[in-house]
Structure 1
Amino acid sequence: MSVLIDVYSRKIVGWAMGRRMQDKLVTEAFNQAYNREKPKEGVIVHTDQASQYTGA
């Protein structure tokens, strides 16, 4: 499961689930959050799981 949370509002803005931890989960969750929230320029996305989301 990959989840994006708006730290200010503590609202879940995007999520994706799968049987394996693959980079597409992050992409799906990010795209969902982006399309729902329409963020303004300057938004920062941070992960606490950086080592798990390195791609090949």
Structure 2
Amino acid sequence: MLALAHSQHAGSLVRIGREALGWRQADLGKRLLCSQSAVSRLEQGRTRIFACCAGRQPK
């Protein structure tokens, strides 16, 4: 349960930072080389950063 709370807190920080930059989830996803839905799951604490961007290489 504690891991879930930390994931949700980290997701909130990601969302706050993204919104401070004026980026949409799709904008952040493009920079992280993942989908908008992956960013949404990350912000909601349903996935971890490692899972969001694992194995991605820049083009």
- TM-score between both structures, scaled by the size of structure 1: 0.32
- TM-score between both structures, scaled by the size of structure 2: 0.31
Higher helix share: 2
Indicate the structure whose relative CO is greater, using CA pairs within 8 Å and at least 6 residues apart.
2
